[in-house]
Amino acid sequence: MQKISLYFENGIYLEAKSFGAEGTSVGEIVFNTSLTGYQEIVTDPSYAGQFVTFTMPDIGNVGCNAQDFESRGAYCKGIIVRSYQARPSNFRSEETLQELLEKHGVLGITDIDTRFITKRLREEGAMMMVASTQIHEKDELKKVLES
């Protein structure tokens, strides 16, 4: 896992670890309170252009399989999880969540306080953010978000 930096339109700057695709991406940040179905959320076209923060703390433990796709691809910009579980235990698993994200160019962000993010979103509403495995300076991320 490598470092990933996040900058929110309200000025918050956070650092975490990346487990998905590499790069820089801008999108709206939202949260999801589902206890199951992370693969379905990642492949749901209604999340297009968004970073989804999961309130369920452990994500990845089931793995992913072709039968549970909601569509032909992954549409969200990225997912944010408290703790990524890299070793799926479900007998139906065909690939890890990390492999799915890498294949579809979706950023995976872990080792971050998702409760803090969710509280900010509940109080301030959905907002735009930028996440990057390449840019780590707050001012540079702000420029990317504003462009």
Residue 65: its pLDDT value, please? 80
Query: Above 80 in pLDDT, residue 36?
Result: no
Residue 72: its pLDDT value, please? 78
For residue 68, name the pLDDT band (cuts at 50, 70, 90).
confident
Query: Above 90 in pLDDT, residue 35?
Result: no
3-class secondary structure for the chain? CEEEEEEECCCCEEEEEECCCCCEEEEEEEEECCCCCHHHHHCCHHHCCEEEEECCCEECCCCECHHHCCCCCCCCCEEECCEECCCCCCCCCCECHHHHHHHHCCEEEECCCHHHHHHHHHHHCCEEEEEECCCCCHHHHHHHHHC
Query: Above 80 in pLDDT, residue 28?
Result: yes
